[in-house]
Structure 1
Amino acid sequence: MATLLLLGATAPALAGDPGGGLNAAAIGMFVGIVIVTLGITYWAARRAQSADQFYAAGGQISGFQNGIALAGDMISAGALLGLAGLICSSGFDGLIFAVGYATGLPFVVFLVAERLRKLGRYTVADVLATRLSETPIRIFTAVATLVIVMFYLIAQMVGAGQLIRLLFGLDYLYAQILVGALMICYVMFGGMVATTWVQIVKATLLLAAGVAIALLILARFGFDYDSLIAQAIAVHPKHAAMMMPQVYSGSVWQSISLGMTLMLGAAGLPHVLMRFFTVPDTRAARVSVFWAVMCQSGFFALIFVIGFGALAIIGGDPAYLDAKGAIRGGGNMATVHLSHALGGDTLMGLVSAVAFATILAVVAGLTLTGASAVSHDLYARIIGRGRATERSEIRASRLATVGLGIISVLLGIAFQTQNVAYMISLAYAVSCSSTLPLLILALYWSGLTTRGAIAGGVTGLVGATVLTVLGPPVWVKVLGNAAPIFPIDPPTIVTMPLAFLTAFVVSAMDRKSAPAAAMSPAT
């Protein structure tokens, strides 16, 4: 899971790319992307006056449009850089991650999408509150949402800050402030309309960049994929052994846990689930997932070509290797070096700009999700007890956006020198162990009680956090201990069943002690 997003650890290597110095092409494309996205925000601001428009784009996003935006939530610069780098360095292990991500979205539509669209309005808590006591369930869901959002935001902010610093030569502090300001602008003024269209632009650019790089790679080998793979095997130190599992071949339980996390994590991510409130009906929700799966699967198919292409083309080129023969800046810089090898500064500039556009889009979606949890679930429904006006609720959301932006900038600065990729895996593990069990039980089991839901959710949330800290991502890689206390990374194989079991046991005890009360929606 640590390869899901490694921008924070790898961005500095851009300064060492062939050509050196500032990349004029990258700067020009970066400025162009910022201008386009600010234009989208200006246009969207005139349509985001009501709460329905601000939170859910008025439910007027088409299935196709929402599908592209949903794909944008699922494919990122972490995939373009991190997954391609993993395939380049480890071969088959990278394919495991790519296939796992590609199979995640169908679980979303099979498990929750249609029922979510029928029951929800703006947030995941709206769905749970239809069956459970509103106050405790909204408080817990808001907390879980903010935890997941912040883990994502830290990694995104560090990556974006490093990228801007390298493109413009800005001090890291000012780079963080610039990213935070853009993020606040998109969400505060444009709401879900702007966030959706920024995501559509980003997904289109990312797919186009992936297609361009893959075609250039295949052209080098006469569009013969077998020749590409043969060259990659010849260059890799392990040769044909790279086509077999490496890291996850020795632990069955860790492999199962990883598969559970990759395939089920998306079904519990609040910023992904919010997308189903932007379409007009359940049919559009199904269409959204169809197009999202098509785009996502196509992108990960391109990643196979890009990863092996990087190994075949730059794996033996001294211009892109350090003194030890490894790719300069680490394996996750393989795509950037590859783009330079294929198209010089222009293509490398395009890849850098697209990576930044990707970060902006993801950050905007995450910020809107966190702000919605604060303004809608906590302020309007708990503090205001449903009596808050739409104007005051939108004002609260905008204030929450500013607050989240400031916190994100501060955390991005605090974690500047840390490899924060493990936080993405923790976000997936938390979603599998907290929001997903509650959604599944609330949608499919009539026996769930409020106390059972809270007990199961808290168990999963705390368990996923604690076991990740005690596991290899933090205990060994961050804290520097020799061996982890808990060996499985991610801990989903333990924490997700534990959350389900706790919710079931506590709910059963509630129903046994007070059957009449347990049948009421307020239980």
Structure 2
Amino acid sequence: MSAALAADGRILSDPVLNTGVFALFVAITLFVVYRVSHRNRSTADYYAAGSIFTGRQNGIALSGDFLSAASFLGIAGAIAIHGYDGFLYSIGFLVAWLVDLLLIAELLRNTGRFTMGDVLSFRMRQRPVRAAAATSTIVISFFYMLAQMAGAGGLVALLLNIHSGFGQALVIGVVGLVMVLYVLVGGMKGTTWVQIIKAGLLILSATGITVFLFGKFGFSFSGLLSAAADNSPLGEKLLEPGGRYGASDISKLDFVSLAVALILGAAALPHVLMRFYTVPNAREARRSVVWATACMFVFYLCTLVIGFGAAALVDPETIRNAPGGENSAAPLLALEIGGSVLLGIVSAVAFATILAVVAGLTITASASFAHDVYANIVKRGKVGADTEIRVARYTAVVVGVLSIVGGILANGQNVAFLVALAFAVAASANLSTLLYSLFWKRFNTMGTLCGIYGGLAACLVLVLFSPVVSGAPDSVFPGIDFHWFPLRNPGLVSIPFSFLCGFVGTLLGRTKADPGKHAEMEVRSLTGIGA
């Protein structure tokens, strides 16, 4: 049993200190948000921060937007418990940015204005395509928020020694309210600065813990791995493939499905795509991806050390039995090596991670509804900026409430796994239509609608009838079993299916693509003329 535990299993942390550190961070960042966002007067200011950020600033913010609770809490926990297989999440998340850099970032920045719907509807019928894009954006944002809220519940439960379900639900509610406050006050400009601050703190914290752990084991990575294997029930198998995904043919397929979803999902995440509009041109969009990739490369190397450090220094049963389960590995490691002070700092940084990511998701979902649905579908483009921003703020409140409810239901799941589901939904709904729109001349409205709705429906149905929801001890509803799809991540099936739906829908569609519009889109996407 870890020395950081009392005899009855309670975590020996200081709730007053932990709460104080967190409250200080919230107060400082809210002040920054208010100061930088008091001039949000137009939709361009509120949705895209007036496109004032440089590639370096936006790249750091992108890493802050992307490095979620899954990256810090979920991956560290997965490595601590499952070893080698847990690090596969880091590899997938990092490689995914090559797809963004090579296929998406520059073309998307040149073609759209605020949302993904701007790109997809450029040469299609506006109203049905914008409605489909808004639907997929809101569903994906909701799935991603589940992971962040679940991480928040486990983290603050650990901080404040809250073990009851009601107490953790109350914590998730408070997180949701603070997140909505960021978005209402700050818009994209304020959210971007929160993400920049949070990315800096997260990378500094992870690097500091990594250097300390190396020092503790004589700056020998082999010594760290040996200690982790000695302290783990898996023994030497902790360092070998197959700890989680090699036990059966189904689990091997599950790994392939997970890898496909992780690598293809980042290029289709709406809150990541929206960040490309906060820079002035395509060159800065490319620089954004390069800076984001560099920041995340450093961070994911640190998660490898932090995960195995937790396996070496914290008892695995302690991790599993702590509030939040696997997600508690990194905070428990901080408590072990630095006491309550370091736990408070690390937890505040992790909490900042959750708030910043959820704020980015909320503004993306609210912008998609207000800009694509309300302004362009309901009002047919005849709406003032003040009214559109007001609708976006109302939508942010609704999204916040839904994410609180979903987070309460998902509390206790590994957040890296939940984010992988969001990646699968994103790649299934959006990637095929984005690539077809940018690169296929014949692609038409019917193909767009079939690709989005077909991929989205397939992914949601397969998740609903998978072991994620029922039929397994760690399911959302463990007491019942109605699953028939064996894989925990549906990406291997749903992503190719969405490409097939888009292809078949295009061939069956009665309206032919406008060659003039395609030529205009091609010139704009490649040159930036008219962007």
TM-score, normalised with respect to structure 2: 0.88
Alignment of 1:255-274 (within 5 A): 255-274=255-274
Which residue number in structure 2 is paired with residue 314 of structure 1? Answer: 314
Which residue number in structure 2 is paired with residue 7 of structure 1? Answer: none
Which residue number in structure 2 is paired with residue 156 of structure 1? Answer: 148
Q: Alpha carbons of 1:118 and 1:181: their partners in 2 closer, same or farther (altered >3 Å)?
A: same
The AA in structure 2 aligned to 1:479 is F
Cα distance in structure 2, aligned partners of 1:132 and 1:218: 55
Q: Alpha carbons of 1:232 and 1:44: their partners in 2 closer, same or farther (altered >3 Å)?
A: same
The AA in structure 1 aligned to 2:280 is P
Q: Alpha carbons of 1:235 and 1:429: their partners in 2 closer, same or farther (altered >3 Å)?
A: same
Cα distance in structure 1, aligned partners of 2:500 and 2:440: 13
The AA in structure 1 aligned to 2:231 is V
Alignment of 1:213-224 (within 5 A): 213-224=209-220
The 8 Å contact of residues 133 and 521 in structure 1, kept in 2 or not, is answered as no
Measured after TM superposition, the shift of residue 417 of structure 1 is 5.5
Please tell me whether residue 111 in structure 1 is matched to residue 103 in structure 2: yes
Cα distance in structure 2, aligned partners of 1:45 and 1:335: 33
Cα distance in structure 1, aligned partners of 2:177 and 2:237: 47
Which residue number in structure 1 is paired with residue 297 of structure 2? Answer: 297
Which residue number in structure 2 is paired with residue 72 of structure 1? Answer: 64
Which residue number in structure 2 is paired with residue 130 of structure 1? Answer: 122
Per-residue Cα deviation, 1:436-467 (whole angstroms, up to 9, x for no partner): 11101101101111011101211100000001
Alignment of 1:42-441 (within 5 A): 42-161=34-153, 163-164=155-156, 167=159, 171-172=167-168, 174-246=170-242, 247-249=244-246, 250-251=248-249, 252-315=252-315, 321=317, 328-329=322-323, 330-413=325-408, 415=409, 419=413, 421=415, 423-441=418-436
Cα distance in structure 1, aligned partners of 2:117 and 2:411: 35
Pick one of 9, 12, 33 that aligns with 1:19: 12
Measured after TM superposition, the shift of residue 367 of structure 1 is 0.6
Runs of 5+ in structure 1 lacking a partner?
1-12
Q: Which stretch has the larger CA shift, 237-246 or 171-180? A: 171-180
Measured after TM superposition, the shift of residue 239 of structure 1 is 2.4
Which residue number in structure 1 is paired with residue 25 of structure 2? Answer: 33
Measured after TM superposition, the shift of residue 299 of structure 1 is 0.5
Measured after TM superposition, the shift of residue 506 of structure 1 is 1.8
Per-residue Cα deviation, 1:300-355 (whole angstroms, up to 9, x for no partner): 1001111111112224xxxx855xx9664534322122111111111111111111
Which residue number in structure 2 is paired with residue 449 of structure 1? Answer: 444
Measured after TM superposition, the shift of residue 370 of structure 1 is 0.8
Cα distance in structure 2, aligned partners of 1:248 and 1:508: 39
Per-residue Cα deviation, 1:237-256 (whole angstroms, up to 9, x for no partner): 33222222222224353332
Runs of 5+ in structure 2 lacking a partner?
1-5, 519-531
Q: Alpha carbons of 1:411 and 1:96: their partners in 2 closer, same or farther (altered >3 Å)?
A: closer
The AA in structure 2 aligned to 1:269 is L
The 8 Å contact of residues 327 and 333 in structure 1, kept in 2 or not, is answered as no
Cα distance in structure 1, aligned partners of 2:397 and 2:245: 42
Cα distance in structure 2, aligned partners of 1:130 and 1:211: 43
Cα distance in structure 2, aligned partners of 1:298 and 1:361: 20
Report the number of matched residues. 498
Q: Alpha carbons of 1:34 and 1:293: their partners in 2 closer, same or farther (altered >3 Å)?
A: same
Q: Alpha carbons of 1:220 and 1:164: their partners in 2 closer, same or farther (altered >3 Å)?
A: closer
Which residue number in structure 1 is paired with residue 476 of structure 2? Answer: 478
Instruction: Find runs of 4+ consecutive structure 1 residues off by over 6 angstroms.
Output: none
Cα distance in structure 1, aligned partners of 2:206 and 2:193: 20
Cα distance in structure 1, aligned partners of 2:9 and 2:389: 45
Measured after TM superposition, the shift of residue 405 of structure 1 is 2.4
TM-score, normalised with respect to structure 1: 0.89
The 8 Å contact of residues 154 and 420 in structure 1, kept in 2 or not, is answered as no
Measured after TM superposition, the shift of residue 409 of structure 1 is 3.3
Cα distance in structure 2, aligned partners of 1:365 and 1:203: 13
The AA in structure 2 aligned to 1:498 is F
Cα distance in structure 1, aligned partners of 2:410 and 2:504: 43
Q: Alpha carbons of 1:416 and 1:331: their partners in 2 closer, same or farther (altered >3 Å)?
A: closer
Q: What SS does the corresponding residue of 2:469 show, helix, strand or coil? A: helix
Percent identity (aligned): 39
Which residue number in structure 2 is paired with residue 4 of structure 1? Answer: none
Q: Which stretch has the larger CA shift, 363-372 or 403-412? A: 403-412
Cα distance in structure 2, aligned partners of 1:236 and 1:403: 44
The AA in structure 2 aligned to 1:182 is V
The 8 Å contact of residues 136 and 430 in structure 2, kept in 1 or not, is answered as yes
The 8 Å contact of residues 475 and 485 in structure 1, kept in 2 or not, is answered as no
The 8 Å contact of residues 85 and 307 in structure 1, kept in 2 or not, is answered as yes
Q: Which stretch has the larger CA shift, 26-35 or 279-288? A: 26-35
The AA in structure 2 aligned to 1:248 is Y
Cα distance in structure 2, aligned partners of 1:176 and 1:489: 25
Which residue number in structure 2 is paired with residue 493 of structure 1? Answer: 492
